[in-house]
């Protein structure tokens, strides 16, 4: 049995491929159900964010498991497996632990120490639990990963300043517009976690107005209500039905919707730019993966379109000074990885140790019962002494094998010892 992760991530896959392989929240139950039906997979968790889509799994046979997950991702993306091969990342066992802990710590993000990814890791695991796909092995792994992420953020300064893609997007928007965002009419499309983060990051920028547009009014109303008065001169909510008019009336648009197709197409933006007339360009920051804005709109005169590729590059440059915190955070990750390994090794050998002790105890009791029928001359008190002595003898005999087994757990030697004990004692 092996723990593996197969997926695509920002450093090794182009944005258009990441878009195609993204598993949206609404599609997650069905995707997890497909993994649950795989005979070789006993547990699975899908972590799909704007910068990565990875499937963590416990598999009976390593190579078969990798092949099944590759086929799964190929089906999601609508591409043949061969076209994904050069972009896929495959990890197994200890490497999976180190990778997930690094991700949860925010060390493998466009924004070092970002706060959003920790919640994404936790929710990915919770979704898998709801769909009854995650079990004890991945449950322990993800729980420890979340603990690691929390520790990194509490014990280092890696999360200071820009702490999320939402904050990075607002900072980028302010940098790309003359005069920053002061006096700007801003529209945030989407009121999920990313949209709420953008709205909160606008506090103090002096926007003239802020419109939060969302499919469900209850959610956008909740986001707007939670904002301080200093967010903008006017804050209101709208549905997506009049999106074209909202875009035309805006100076800056942030899009944060989880969707499989663009919700803002080129014709909508061409009309918006025409209605705006002369003046500063319309600035659109697309935080969607898959993209919310049709990419071909980038060449419209009077429009500045920034997507995740631009954001990642800009944020990485802005946060170059945070690198000194990486060493401390990486040290915490290493400590937690080793702690997890020790706990896992002890857990892995525990059933063998229990079985060995149970087998020895069964043999001891069987022999005592056999002798009891032959030695009727011994009193109950004497039999109690015999029971105590034989129990102590068995404990001493098993002490050294138990210690050796626990010390070697998780190593090739430990695997050989387990196999030997199972063979010798028919465990």
Give tens-digit pLDDT for 248-302: 999 999 999 988 889 999 999 999 999 988 788 999 999 988 899 999 999 999 9
Q: Which of 68, 58, 76 is nearest to 20 (CA)?
A: 76
Whole-prediction pTM? 0.68
For the chain, helix, strand, coil in percent to 5 are 60, 15, 25
Cα–Cα distances in angstroms (integers) from residue 232 to residues 167, 181, 243, 248, in the given order: 16, 10, 20, 19
Residue 51 token pair:
């910068």
pLDDT at 352: 81
Low-confidence ranges of the chain (pLDDT < 50): none
- CATH numbers and ranges of domains, the chain: 2-160 (3.30.460.30), 165-319 (3.40.50.720), 351-420 (no CATH)
Q: In what order do the strands lie in the sheet with 89-92?
A: 41-49, 52-59, 2-9, 89-92
Cα angle for residues 10, 285, 11 (degrees, 5° grid)? 10
Residues recorded for the chain: 427
Q: Are strands 41-49 and 2-9 parallel, antiparallel or unpaired?
A: unpaired
HSE on the CB side for 402, CA within 13 Å?
15
Is 16 annotated as catalytic?
Answer: no
DSSP characters over 110-164: SSTT-SHHHHHHHHHHHHHHHTT---HHHHHHHHHHHHHHHHHHHHSSTTSS--S
pLDDT in tens, 175-186: 999 889 999 999
pLDDT of residue 322: 63
The tokens for 344 are 């896992």
- Give the C-alpha separation, 99 to 113, whole Å: 15
Helices within 40-115 (DSSP H only): 62-77, 81-85, 94-104
pLDDT at 10: 82
Neighbours of 160 (CB within 10 A): 12
Q: Which residue has the tokens 């086929």?
A: 71
- From 15, 32, 50, 128, the catalytic residue: 50
| Locus of tokens 């004990």 | 421
Token output for 23: 């598993």
pLDDT for residue 162: 58
Task: Please report where in the chains the tokens 């419109």 appear, as a residue.
Answer: 211
Residue 56 to residue 69: CA distance in whole angstroms: 9
Cis previous bond, 290, omega within 30: yes
Give the residue from 250, 251, 264, 245 showing the smallest Cα distance to 307. 264
Distance CA 76, CA 95 (A): 25
Torsion of CA 369, 372, 374, 378, to 10 degrees: 170
Residues with Cβ < 8 Å from 249, sequence gap 6 or more?
185, 187
Asked if 299 and 270 touch (Cβ cutoff 8 Å), the reply is no
Count of beta carbons in the 10 Å neighbourhood of residue 16: 12
Catalogue the long-range contacts made by 323-326 (C-beta closer than 8 Å, 24 or more residues apart).
323/112, 325/112, 325/113, 325/156, 325/157, 325/158, 326/107, 326/112, 326/158
Structural tokens at position 340: 């997890």
pLDDT of residue 164: 76
pLDDT of residue 26: 86
Q: Do the beta carbons of residue 279 and residue 251 sit within 8 Å? A: no
**For strand 303-306 and strand 41-49, is the pairing parallel, antiparallel, or unpaired?**
unpaired
In this prediction, residue 320 carries a pLDDT of 60
């Amino acid at each position: 049995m092996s723990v593996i992760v197969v997926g695509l991530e920002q450093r090794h896959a182009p944005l258009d491929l990441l878009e195609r392989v993204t598993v949206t929240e609404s599609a997650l139950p069905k995707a997890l159900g497909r993994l649950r039906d795989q005979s070789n997979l006993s547990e699975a968790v899908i972590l799909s964010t704007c910068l990565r889509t990875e499937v963590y799994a416990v598999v009976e046979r390593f190579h078969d498991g990798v092949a099944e997950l590759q086929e799964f991702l190929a089906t999601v993306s609508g591409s043949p497996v061969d076209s994904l091969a050069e972009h896929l990342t495959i990890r197994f066992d200890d490497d999976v632990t180190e990778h997930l802990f690094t991700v949860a710590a925010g060390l493998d993000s466009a924004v070092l120490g970002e706060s959003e990814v920790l919640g994404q890791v936790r929710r990915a695991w919770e979704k898998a639990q709801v769909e009854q796909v995650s079990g004890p092995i991945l449950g322990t792994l993800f729980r420890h990963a979340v603990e690691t992420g929390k520790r990194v953020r509490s014990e280092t300064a890696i999360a200071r300043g820009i702490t999320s893609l939402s904050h990075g997007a607002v900072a980028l928007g302010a940098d790309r517009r003359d005069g920053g965002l002061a006096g700007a009419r801003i529209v945030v499309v989407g009121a999920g976690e990313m949209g709420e983060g953008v709205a909160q990051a606008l506090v103090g920028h002096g926007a003239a107005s802020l419109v939060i547009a969302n499919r469900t009014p209850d959610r956008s109303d909740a986001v707007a209500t939670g904002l301080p008065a200093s967010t903008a001169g006017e804050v209101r909510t709208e549905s997506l039905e009049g999106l074209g008019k909202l875009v035309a009336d805006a100076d800056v648009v942030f899009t944060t919707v989880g969707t499989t197709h663009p919700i803002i197409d080129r014709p909508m933006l061409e009309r918006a730019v025409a209605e705006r007339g002369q003046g500063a360009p319309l600035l659109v920051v697309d935080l969607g993966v898959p993209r919310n804005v049709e990419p071909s709109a980038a060449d419209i005169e009077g429009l500045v379109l920034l997507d995740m590729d631009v954001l990642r590059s800009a944020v990485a440059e802005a946060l170059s000074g945070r690198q000194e915190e990486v060493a401390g955070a990486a040290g915490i990750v290493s400590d937690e990885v080793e702690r997890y390994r020790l706990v896992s090794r002890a857990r892995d050998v525990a059933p063998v140790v229990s079985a060995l002790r149970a087998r020895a105890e069964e043999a001891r009791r069987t022999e005592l019962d056999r002798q009891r029928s032959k030695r009727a001359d011994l009193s109950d008190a004497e039999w109690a002494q015999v029971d105590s002595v034989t129990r102590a003898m068995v404990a001493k005999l098993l002490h050294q094998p138990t210690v050796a087994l626990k010390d070697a757990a998780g190593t090739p030697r430990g695997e050989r010892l387990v196999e030997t004990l199972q063979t010798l004692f028919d465990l």
